Amino acid sequence: MQYRMLAAKIHRARVTEANLNYVGSITIDQELLDATGLLPYEMVQITNLSNGELWQTYIIPGPPHGGDICLNGPPARLFHPGDLVIILGFRLYDASELLSHQPTVVFVDENNHITEVVREETPFRTNP
């Protein structure tokens, strides 16, 4: 059996752009992707702390060190520059992987530059 679990999170990033005329996706600074281990074209969930909206789309990498967080296509109507968001990446794990699984949490400043990377949350300790 496989379990869909949080793999990585970018916590309280600031939306830098919303581009309605793009096909879709979210552009994320490559430096943030490297810190989380999230990959281009991987599915993520974005939660808007400003209005409670939730969106799911895939990642496209942005230039490193620029702090880009851009919602492209339809979510540009729901996410606006300046909104704070949480970006969540989920992956499938089998039961044996759960014992050592620890999600990566990346904290950022107001310019989406990394302030801290945490991988120390308590591992999952129950028998599924």
Q: Which of 50, 58, 96, 100 is catalytic?
A: 58
Sheet with 2-14, strands from edge to edge, namely 17-19, 69-72, 25-29, 54-62, 43-48, 84-94, 2-14, 104-108, 114-118
Bridge-based pairing state of the strands 104-108 and 2-14: parallel
If DSSP codes are grouped into helix, strand and coil, which group holds residue 36? helix
Q: Is 41 a catalytic residue?
A: no
For 91, phi then psi, to 5°, come to: -140, 165
Q: Is 58 a catalytic residue?
A: yes
Location of structure tokens 């996706």: 25
Q: Which of 3, 22, 25, 41 is catalytic?
A: 25
Catalytic residues: 25, 58
